[in-house]
Chain A
Amino acid sequence: MKTRAMFWSIRRELWETRSIAIAPVAVAAVVVFGFLVSTFAGSHAAQTTEMSRPYDFASILLMGVMFLVSIFYCLDALNGERRDRSILFWKSLPVSDLTTVLSKLAIPMVVLPVVSWVATVATQFIMLVMRGSGAPWGEVAGSWPMILYHLLTVHSLYYAPIFAWLLLVSAWARRMPFLWAFLPIAAVAIVERIAFRSSYFAHMLGARISGDMEMKGAPMLGYFMPLDFFLKPGLWIGFAIAAVFIAIAVRLRRLHGPI
């Protein structure tokens, strides 16, 4: 029963948030169009030394756009249903607040990384086909498992506290969730800078977003050390913070009615 409610709750998120499908298709179309023009312009010659660059560019652009989609998705997820009063319809059905909030967390943590990966593979595949003979198939296709790993670890598990924070703000704010999500963070960073002349908080956020890997000097997509990743204290501290934020978000959804 619970899994059924979860399954249908995720489906309804996909019905409502069309950008989950539209954004990757739009990015792919732009990248492929640019690549097509560059083929005709003959500017590939300049890239022979770094054959995979346009392919990497495509995957990084897709990741960036999908991260933006997740930010906007999370900020609207628990706020929009209160603004349009549809929360009263959702709450008239036997679906718990916990199931609802977890289904909304599953979008940025499960659905979007998988969609990003499929879009990346599809885009790079089209680019390789368009490139014709001499396309770096082995190099590009060889990176596909790594891209999936990166998306599911860094962009999902490591980002859990980010998504949980955004959902919490979405459940709490009556209006302008965007400002409420980012102003307190900026405020903490500024206060720290002025009071202690340090910037640990800002560095911590930066490390969180980069997946805490740049310091090791490894290129982001070449970094495959699952044991190292899962033993990172940062990952587990992140989970603990995310759990607290989600618990508060569930509580808020239970208490709050339409705005």
Chain B
Amino acid sequence: MACIEARGLRKTFGSTVALDGVDLRVEEGRILGLIGPNGAGKTTALNAILGLIPYDGELRVLGRDPWTAREQLMCDVAFIADVAVLPRWIRVTQALDYVAGVHPRFDRAKAEGFLAKTDIRPASKVRELSKGMVTQLHLALVMAIDAKLLILDEPTLGLDILYRKQFYDSLLNDYFDRSRTILVTTHQVDEIQDVLTDFAFLKRGRIVFESSMEQFESRYLELMVNQDRADAARALGPIHERQLFGRSVLLFDGADRQQLAPLGDVRTPSIADLFVAVVGGASK
């Protein structure tokens, strides 16, 4: 059974189409990055998956319909919306008490263990914590839940680089194992590239590209050539071209590394490079 299965998922707000027939299948044990420009429908897609909004089309999360079974679903799904959703009046100990009280799969000792590694004092109120600490607290709460699916919507938005790095490190080292599934949206594509097993590009409410990381790394090559050899490289059919320091950077889909190597420097592109080529390029 797929962890998330969407077919023809649609959502409109008045005349605005937020999701225009999304087909998505996420298998257990994957870490999928949902990447898209602002307004592409990332948050709407997550909200539908979390049972926060009604939708049209077919959607199953862990075999359930999220809109009609949110309460049961939340026993197996953990979720960080963005940094600012923990109530500001709550104390750290109260947050632990509350989640331990209502969540059957919450391991309080584990959460306290995570918190002990931070500078967060148990008696503090959320309003007294820095933005980075609030995220650490929320992550500690969420990682102590034995969930099957973890959903992160821009989890590191507004954090400095140290917290961002630490966030994904602890997620991978202390939380992720092959039985869990993580779905994450972010703008900072480069930071999560090493974390992901799969990614999908969302544009104007549609999935315009999806791939596993292995597939991506074996299929795409980037070639940097001097201008004198640019035309020879262009003849090989790049899918995108950009200029960098007076040289041309060409992106190839399914090209032969041996064929490109004599023309210039060949490297594996980043997801961000492909994103610009696929999402940015197609909008012309």
A residues lining the B interface (CB < 8 Å): 1, 4-5, 7-9, 11-12, 15-16, 81, 84-89, 91-96, 254-255, 257
B94 proximity list for chain A (CB < 8 A):
12, 15
Specify which of A5, A89, A96 is in contact with B87 (CB 8 Å cutoff): A89
B residues lining the A interface (CB < 8 Å): 47, 50, 52-54, 70-75, 77-81, 84-91, 94, 97-99, 101-104, 138
> Are A92 and B78 in touch, CB under 8 angstroms?
yes
Q: How far is the CA of A5 from the CA of B75 in the complex (A)?
A: 12
A contact patch SS: helix
> Are A257 and B53 in touch, CB under 8 angstroms?
yes
Specify which of A8, A81, A85, A88 is in contact with B102 (CB 8 Å cutoff): A8
- Of all chain B residues, the one with the shortest Cβ separation from A85 is B85
Question: Given A4-B102, A7-B101, A89-B81, are A94 and B72 neighbors across the interface (CB < 8 Å)?
Answer: yes
> Are B87 and A86 in touch, CB under 8 angstroms?
yes
> Are A257 and B102 in touch, CB under 8 angstroms?
no
> Are A12 and B98 in touch, CB under 8 angstroms?
yes
Q: How far is the CA of A100 from the CA of B70 in the complex (A)?
A: 13
> Are B85 and A11 in touch, CB under 8 angstroms?
no
A81 proximity list for chain B (CB < 8 A):
87
Q: How far is the CA of A217 from the CA of B255 in the complex (A)?
A: 95
> Are A93 and B90 in touch, CB under 8 angstroms?
no
Question: Given A86-B85, A257-B47, A257-B53, are A96 and B71 neighbors across the interface (CB < 8 Å)?
Answer: yes
B85 proximity list for chain A (CB < 8 A):
85-89
B97 proximity list for chain A (CB < 8 A):
8, 11
Q: How far is the CA of A85 from the CA of B86 in the complex (A)?
A: 8
Q: How far is the CA of A186 from the CA of B56 in the complex (A)?
A: 40
> Are B102 and A94 in touch, CB under 8 angstroms?
yes
> Are A15 and B102 in touch, CB under 8 angstroms?
no
